[in-house]
Structure 1
Amino acid sequence: MEFAIKLAQFLLSLSILIILHELGHFIPSKLFKTKVEKFYLFFDIKFSLFKKKIGETEYGIGWLPLGGYVKIAGMIDESMDTEQMKGEPQPWEFRSKPAWQRLIIMLGGVIVNFILAFIIYIGISYVFGDYYIENKDVKDGIEVNNIELEKAGLKTGDKLISIDDKKITTFVPAINMDILTSKKVVVDRNGEPKTIFLPNNFIGKFIDADKKSLISLRMPFVIGGFASDSPNKNNLKTKDIVLSLNGQKIKYFDEASSILETNKSKTIPAIVLRNDKETPVQVTVTNKGKLGVIAGALKEDNLEKLGYYKFSKVHYGFFEAVPIGLDKGVTQLGNYWKQLKLIFNPSTGAYKGVGGFGAIFNVFPASWSWFDFWNITALLSIMLGVMNLLPIPALDGGHVLFLIYEMISGKKPSDKFLEKAQTIGIVLLISLLLFANGNDIYKALFGK
């Protein structure tokens, strides 16, 4: 069932992005009276699942969900249909249109991608608002989840001050990405500021460490369940909150490990919060320094009730949501561009994190959430727009590059040159797809 939910979200998001991207090419083509021969969701190699011709255009759904396309008459594209280019240019063909019209047609897809992302972020801000914790309310600092971040110098209990000289005012999940792509983090450690410089290849080390997050909020020690061989099934209960171990007070889960480590194979006294009452119990520590329990979690209102954190919820009217959504879109666009530069710099090791369709599939949650769905779709729309702008032949950016050259020089590249460039571009794209999806397969097989 979880797989079906993830698959449904993946296909719906992909379909929205592909259809709207291709509409970005289709609409200006029609406006400029350029013939569009095909409009396809997914690729129809050898056969299609559905097709219907309306007017001069065949609309269809292919069987291979790796993208989609519009086939514009008189244009050298990924179909490599060179036969059409042998005849004399016709008024309805792409190659017969002025360069500025061809430029608009080629930029249409990425423009729609960026507009879609901004619209989604505005909608999210209006419907869901913002949910966050003031950074000043993270009074006991953060928990470090990644060994490489610890090696770099960050410690559990540090309070974030700034990331790459940007002052931290709110604590949100996206802060992990800010740290991952940063060079410098300043923290408050025991009342003193401390600057931590992250190594150039930190992002590669993070990927090798295979952690989902770098840092998180420190959480109470909540009993969520028990291991099959747990020695504490009878004296602890699910939803208990451990307040002390062997006479030492515990506020956060991370404080328990050192106490348990020094009491291996012993039975020690503990106090738990059970049904809002402090209850003394005896717990047995295994020879590995564990209690044999699975950590649980508390909802935001319970964390507030117990005095751990104060959560802020902001609702926006429609006109308030517009600048907020636009700002989120610009921030995500900047962040993705920053990530892309890191990927193309081999010394950072960021290329290890490049993923294909498997990685995109796994981004979607196992339970349906419209908030997560639209956030992921907006980010994918930005990614699709930026990737299509890369100056690689066969991508929109490659066509745009040749059109700009033509408009500046007044000389149009020959059809033969464009055919060769398109072939090179397709080889590059196939190589990139093989690398990205090969990464997915490698991680699935070896857990990296």
Structure 2
Amino acid sequence: MYNIFWKNFKKHHLTTLAKTILLSTIGIVGLIIWSILLPIEIRVSSLGEILNDNDIVEIKSPFSGIINKFQVNNGAQVLQGDPLLTFEDTETNDLINLKKSSITDLKCRIDTANSALNFLNSKYDVIKKAFDIRDEQLLDFLRNYPSTCSMVFNYEISKLYRSLKLKLTRTHNIYSNYLDLEDKISLSNMLLLSHKKDLTITKNLFKDNVVSKNELNQQERVVHKSALELTTDLNAQKAMLRHINELYDEANVEFANYLKDISRDLDHNQRTLIDEISKATILEKKISQNTILSPIMGTIVYNQSFSSSNYIQESQLLMKIVPRCDLTHVRAKVAPQQIQSVKNGQIATVRFPHYPDIREKKFKAIIETINPIISQRNNDSSQTQNYYEVILKIIDPTYFDNKIELRNGYPAEILFTAEYTTLAKEIIRPIINNWPKIFER
């Protein structure tokens, strides 16, 4: 009974296992056939960059020195004549500041001198009148002279005012004494006439023996004394007039000399100003030579970077500028195993993933040039990478409608082909492509 049961169980169990193996085999074979016949997409794509190698301008250092500051960054748009960078020259800058300060001061002195000359020349008649009528108040205009920007003329004109006023005061005092002496001379003259009459009477009396010889001599001495005093007063009066005229002449000479000094200083300052402006211009030209200007209108695509110091050597490359133009070319690196799918004249698709506004847009481009294979070492110099350089030109009209400003060297993605095929075709393709070679062997 046990043996019958065991045989039946063994028979049914092996039949189920066989079915499982059979189903598994059929499933695997079906999966293989399905995977071979399943349509797949074969894409030939590459990374690239916006290209414009035409007329790239390289800016190199004209001499060795320290760069004070870069005034533009990578990607900046510059106009012709825009400052790009400046070399440090603190000494020349300090000299320029000193010259500018000197120029400002000289202009102030020149303007003030011109104003003072015009002012004093227009007031000469007032000064003359002040001495003619001996009125000190007429000189007050000198005390209240307002200088435009330099206090020097305030002090000098104030000094002139005090000197002229002192002379005018002395003139006034002398003239007052002159008037007092005039009254005294008038009295002395009258007294002298009286004494002379008395002398005449005395002489007649002496002839008549009425008076003595001593009385006659005494009267003569009185007349002589009065005449001498009158002569002394007249001489003193003449001296006063002469002194008044001398003070007037001194005032005129002092005023004229002051105008002469102002004119001389004005002439000297004008010549000095021209010289200082010339020196400042030379220094500014020296500074301008230390500032490198953009020779063209374009885009900065390379800017020198420094790690610790801004010191550069003569002829060292500082930056590159691409002329402003439509960037219509793209450069791609294609691996050797993919180059067979890339042909001249073929239409490819270009996308710019780094521009959000056009990230999803695709533009048609035609393959213009396929350059020979190029070998390039990796950054670590451990391996050599071989690739073909493929140049494409964007021909899609919608590309030129974009308002986005694309820049030279920015990344792009290029899709050369997108073919739908099957795994079986891809397995067989190498055999078919190499069949002549296999047959020859």
Range of TM-score over shorter length: under 0.3
Identify the structure with the greater helix proportion.
2
Q: When the two structures are superposed, what TM-score results if normalisation uses the length of structure 2?
A: 0.16
The structure with the largest alpha-carbon Rg is: 2
Relative contact order, higher structure (CA 8 A, sep 6+): 2
